[in-house]
Amino acid sequence: MSFKLGKISDLATPFTVTVFFLQFLLIVGFLGYGYYMDSSESCINCHSSKEKMAELGYPQFYVTIEEVRKQTGHKTVQCRDCHLGNGRAHDKDKAHKGMLKAIFVNESAEPVERSKVYSKEETELNKIFPIGENTLFELLPKKRENHQVSLHPEVRNILWHDRNPYTFNFDPKIAEKTCGKRGCHQEELKQFRSTTMATNYRQRTMQTWLEPYGPHNCGPSFADLPPEEILKSAEFDFTNTEKIRKEINVSFTTEQAIAKQRLCNVCHAGCVDCHYAPSRERGTHAFIKVPDSLSCMGRGRGNSVCHTGSGHSRRGETYIGKFYSIPQGRKPDIHFTKGIHCVDCHQTGKKGMGDMQRKATCGDCHIEIEKALANSVHRNLTCTACHVTEAGGYQITVWGKGYIGEKPNPFKKYSLYYGIQKPLILMKDQKGKWFPVKIFPHSVSNIKKDVAPTGVKFRWNNGETRDMYAVVGTFQGLPSGNKHLLWLQIEEVAHPFGKARDCKSCHSSIQTSVSTWQYEDIQGAEPFKGGYKIVADEKGLRLKDFWHSEIKVLKGFELSQFASWLYLTDKWFVPGDFSIRFDRKKYKEYERLYKKNLVKLERLKGRFSDKELKTLRQILLHNPEHKF
């Protein structure tokens, strides 16, 4: 049959017109119903009425849509765009069904209902708003007793509402309905889901205490998803749990694995962690387009979120200093005092949103000094080798039997040996550059098989990070928890930048660092003090001279559960040459040349401005052979 070109009107029979009209009504009805249900009318009517909110007993939740739009910077945003729920329902319970809200986490790593934390009378405290002088905890819930405001004992952390309320992981499916919905930040979410920050790629690679590359301060991935290129879900996965059980001599239940994994997940970031910024100045719905340093540090939600997380003092923990340092009160990084934020140096990479680059170059600002260094005898030193001189946070980590909240767990992390290690030991990276490291002892008990020493190994051989570890071996003979697996955690220290270290601290045949700390965990023992030395020379890398004040063990605990180092003080030893080789004659020559050039520079004062003189002094310090 030949094809005949006709007109649309030829097909316009009563039947086809009726079908087309019904389809049109169906599509319009479907879209109209979606638009109708997407309304936030009931949310606005209720929450923008002071009288209504007071009548319900929650005056602190009074807010107008105009205030929300001003604070968020989203001029057309509706309540349901972020919180979901039913914006058409007039009944409170129906309206709040499926609504997203902040997740309060207790010490047992379980979500706790906000209504059970506060009474209705505590209206001035029952709001996510900065309260108190200690900025590290200013967003956490508070309790008023005897006219004093203190941290609420039932809440450990707050997580924002783009987290899975069961696993605490960032949930891309929730983000698809909120931040990443069509017409909002769809492309940004797509980018973020492929980044190391979103996928937790490195943490999820750690399958057990021994695989694939040795134990880690954060522990293995107890019940988390396997590493993936693009984040697809926020669930638990118990493949690693089964593997961990085969490595240890004690029971490790699924419930215990979930508790441990939830605490790990608290640290890891989602969209709102970076961009939600409630403040006294801008209010409880304030957002920022570019994350600031407070966002990177968890913005007042405690010392177990984001970069104040489990590694305590890894990377930028001490960038802000003061309340955001461990121990508190340390000086901030010199760059922070000048108004420079983390993202100013750690910019986004090729993947876009959330693809923050670990390595920052000083040459973007200190161009002349970096040139001088590149042409000097010190060209194989990072800037941090001289300008980062101490590391705070954990000084010892012991994994042993204890409690997560009130529930027993074989992998309680006794890590609140809070203190400072200085001056820092220098080691070579994968490319032969010297950089500063934090070296601190670790042990985990009840390992099933004997484990041989490994020597120092890089976790990522291609230079993705400079972090290293050295397994010392397994040891017995302790009162409990045998066998104990010992290792040294050797991590790059990147902050805080400050005044450079003394030249003699490097130009010596032996590198020595001293760690002093105070034990502050509420389990194991009452607070006590201690310390040790780290020595790196041509004979090896070792810890020595452990000391401690009186230890008053709490009822139900044993020393080997939280302080196995007491029995193993001579075991943390790694053979090898860790000395810094240098030519003493050449060192003296450079020292003399530097002093000579400073005298010369003093004579030429009139020919240079103060700024030029300062730059020349800095150049000469980094390269005494510089001609001027």
Q: Distance between CA atoms of 100 and 248, rounded to whole angstroms?
A: 39
Q: Is the pLDDT of residue 198 over 80?
A: yes
- pLDDT band of residue 349 (cuts 50, 70, 90) is confident
Q: Give the alpha-carbon dihedral of 132, 266, 73, 175, to 10 degrees.
A: -160
Lowest mean pLDDT among 8-12, 286-290, 322-326, 622-626: 8-12
pLDDT for the residue numbered 110: 95
- pLDDT band of residue 460 (cuts 50, 70, 90) is confident
- pLDDT band of residue 461 (cuts 50, 70, 90) is confident
Q: What is the pLDDT of residues 373-408, one digit of tens each?
A: 999 989 999 999 999 999 999 999 999 999 999 999
pLDDT for the residue numbered 16: 67
Q: Distance between CA atoms of 418 and 503, rounded to whole angstroms?
A: 28
Q: What is the pLDDT of residues 547-589, one digit of tens each?
A: 999 999 999 999 999 999 999 999 999 999 999 988 888 888 9
Tell me: cis bond preceding 527? Omega within 30 of 0 counts: no
Q: Give the alpha-carbon dihedral of 244, 246, 247, 249, to 10 degrees.
A: 110
Determine if residue 286 is left, alpha or beta; phi over 0 gives left, psi from -120 to 50 gives alpha, anything else beta. beta
Q: Is residue 613 a contact partner of residue 544, using CB atoms and an 8 Å limit?
A: no
456-465, 513-522, 576-585: which is most confident:
513-522
Average pLDDT (137-143) is 91
DSSP symbol at 310: T
Q: What is the pLDDT of residues 466-486, one digit of tens each?
A: 999 999 999 999 999 999 999
Phi, psi of 366, deg, nearest 5? -95, 65
Q: Is the pLDDT of residue 38 over 90?
A: no
Q: Distance between CA atoms of 25 and 19, rounded to whole angstroms?
A: 10
Q: How far is CA 298 from the centre of its chain?
A: 8
Q: Distance between CA atoms of 83 and 63, rounded to whole angstroms?
A: 14
> pLDDT above 90 covers what percent of the chain?
66
User: What amino acid occupies position 612?
Assistant: E
Integer CA distances (angstroms), 174 to 100, 101, 110, 245, 509, in order = 9, 12, 20, 32, 57
Integer CA distances (angstroms), 578 to 360, 417, 426, 538, in order = 26, 26, 9, 5
Q: Distance between CA atoms of 154 and 115, rounded to whole angstroms?
A: 12
Q: Is the pLDDT of residue 35 over 80?
A: no
Average pLDDT (439-448) is 97
pLDDT for the residue numbered 135: 92
Q: Distance between CA atoms of 624 and 628, rounded to whole angstroms?
A: 11
Q: Distance between CA atoms of 545 and 550, rounded to whole angstroms?
A: 16
- pLDDT band of residue 604 (cuts 50, 70, 90) is confident
Average pLDDT (222-239) is 95
Phi, psi of 473, deg, nearest 5? 135, -175
pLDDT for the residue numbered 166: 96
pLDDT for the residue numbered 601: 85
Average pLDDT (525-546) is 97
Average pLDDT (518-528) is 97
Chain mean pLDDT for the chain? 90
pLDDT for the residue numbered 149: 85
H helix and E strand count, the chain: 22, 17
Q: Is the pLDDT of residue 528 over 80?
A: yes
Residue 78 CB neighbours (<10 A)? 18
Q: Is the pLDDT of residue 33 over 50?
A: no
Angle of CA points 202, 207, 211, to nearest 5°: 100
Q: Distance between CA atoms of 589 and 416, rounded to whole angstroms?
A: 46
pLDDT for the residue numbered 30: 47
Question: Which carries the bigger pLDDT value, residue 354 or residue 284?
Answer: 284
Average pLDDT (161-185) is 95
Q: What is the pLDDT of residues 49-107, one digit of tens each?
A: 999 999 988 888 999 999 999 999 999 999 999 999 999 999 999 999 999 999 999 99
Q: Is the pLDDT of residue 218 over 70?
A: yes
Of 437, 465, 136, the C-alpha closest to 308 is: 136
Phi, psi of 626, deg, nearest 5? -60, 135
pLDDT for the residue numbered 31: 44
- pLDDT band of residue 12 (cuts 50, 70, 90) is low
9 contacts: CB under 8 Å, gap ≥ 6: none
DSSP symbol at 382: -
pLDDT for the residue numbered 310: 61
Please identify which residue in the block is written with the tokens 């529930």.
407
Average pLDDT (174-188) is 94
